[in-house]
Structure 1
Amino acid sequence: MKRGRPTTNAIPHGTAGPRSADERRRALLRTARDVADDLAADAIVRDQAGKPPTDETARLREAGLPAALTPPGPGRGTDWRTGCAVIREIAAADSSVGDVLARHYVHAWSGRFYASQDDATALEEASAREQWLWTGAVHAPAPDGDSDGPDLTLRPRGTGYVLNGRRSVDTAVAAADQILLDALCATTGDVLVVRIPAGARGVTVEPAHDRLGQRLAGAGEVVLDRVAVTPGQVLGRRPHDEESTAPFTALAEPALRLALCHVGLGIAEGALTEARDLSRGGRAHRLPGEDPDLLLTYGELASAAQTAAAVVDRATEVMAQALTTGAQLDAEEPAGVAALVATAEAVTSKATLHITARVLELADAPGLDRFWRNARVLTAHRPVSHRLRSVGAHYLNGSHRAMAAFR
Structure 2
Amino acid sequence: MSTIPTAQHDAVSGADDAELDARFAPIFERIATGSIEREQNRELAYDAVRWLKEAGFTALRVPKRYGGSGATLPQFFRLLTRLGEADSNLPQILRLNSGFIESRLESDDEALRERWLPKIAAGETVGAAISERTASTHNSVTLAADKSGNGWWLNGEKYYSTGTLYADWIDVAAHDGADDVRVVVRADAPGVARIDDWDGFGQRLTASGTTRFDSVYVSDDQLLVRYKASEPRRNTSLTAFYQTVHLATLTGIARAVLRDGVAFAQSHTRTFGVPGRSSPRDNPLVHRVVGRLASLAYSAESITASVARSLENAYQARLAGRANTDTYIALDIEAYQAQQIVIEQVLEAATLVFEVGGASATSETRRLDRHWRNARVLASHNPAIQREAAVGNFHLNGAASNERFSLAHSPSELERVATDSAVAVNG
Q: Which TM-score tier does this pair reach, normalised by the shorter chain?
A: 0.7 to 0.9
Give how far 1:210 is off. Answer: 5.1
Give how far 1:22 is off. Answer: 4.0
Matches within 5 A, 1:81-230: 81-113=74-106, 116-129=109-122, 131-138=123-130, 148-157=137-146, 158-186=149-177, 189-208=178-197, 211-230=200-219
The structure where helix makes up a greater share of residues is: 2
Q: Which residue of structure 1 aligns with residue 62 of structure 2?
A: 71
Any idea what SS the aligned residue of 1:245 has?
coil
Q: 2: CA distance between counterparts of 1:92 and 1:194?
A: 33
Contact 2:198 2:207 in 1 (8 A): no
Q: 2: CA distance between counterparts of 1:21 and 1:275?
A: 35
Does residue 298 (structure 1) correspond to residue 298 (structure 2)? The answer is: no
Q: Which residue of structure 1 aligns with residue 232 of structure 2?
A: 244
Does residue 269 (structure 1) correspond to residue 279 (structure 2)? The answer is: no
Change (3 A) 1:214 1:132: same
5+ residue gaps in structure 1?
A: 1-19, 141-145
Any idea what SS the aligned residue of 1:151 has?
coil
Q: 1: CA distance between counterparts of 2:408 and 2:262?
A: 38
* CA deviation map 1:371-405 (0-9, x unaligned): 11211222223332212111112222231663666
Give how far 1:134 is off. Answer: 1.7
Q: 2: CA distance between counterparts of 1:200 and 1:298?
A: 50
Q: 2: CA distance between counterparts of 1:334 and 1:63?
A: 32
Higher mean C-alpha deviation, range 376-385 or range 394-403: 394-403
Which of 35, 55, 79 aligns to 1:43? It is: 35
Contact 1:98 1:263 in 2 (8 A): yes
Any idea what SS the aligned residue of 1:193 has?
strand
* CA deviation map 1:202-239 (0-9, x unaligned): 11111125542212222211101111211211111355
5+ residue gaps in structure 2?
A: 1-12, 273-278, 401-405, 414-423
Contact 2:83 2:252 in 1 (8 A): yes
Contact 1:32 1:89 in 2 (8 A): no
Contact 2:56 2:121 in 1 (8 A): no
Change (3 A) 1:214 1:257: same
Q: 2: CA distance between counterparts of 1:321 and 1:137?
A: 30
Q: 1: CA distance between counterparts of 2:287 and 2:408?
A: 40
* CA deviation map 1:310-363 (0-9, x unaligned): 222111111122233337331221111111111122111111111111112323
Q: 2: CA distance between counterparts of 1:219 and 1:392?
A: 31
When the two chains are superposed, the root-mean-square deviation of aligned CA atoms in Å is 2.6
Change (3 A) 1:236 1:174: same
Q: Which residue of structure 1 aligns with residue 376 of structure 2?
A: 376
Any idea what SS the aligned residue of 1:194 has?
strand
Q: Which residue of structure 2 aligns with residue 402 of structure 1?
A: 407
- For normalisation by structure 1, the TM-score amounts to 0.84
Higher mean C-alpha deviation, range 391-400 or range 315-324: 391-400
Change (3 A) 1:338 1:21: closer
Q: Which residue of structure 2 aligns with residue 11 of structure 1?
A: none
- For normalisation by structure 2, the TM-score amounts to 0.80
Q: 2: CA distance between counterparts of 1:359 and 1:237?
A: 48
- Paired amino acid for 1:54: Y
Q: 1: CA distance between counterparts of 2:126 and 2:335?
A: 23
Change (3 A) 1:148 1:208: closer
- Paired amino acid for 2:407: A
Q: 2: CA distance between counterparts of 1:323 and 1:182?
A: 26
Q: Percent identity?
A: 24
Q: Which residue of structure 2 aligns with residue 258 of structure 1?
A: 244
Change (3 A) 1:239 1:311: farther
Contact 2:81 2:248 in 1 (8 A): yes
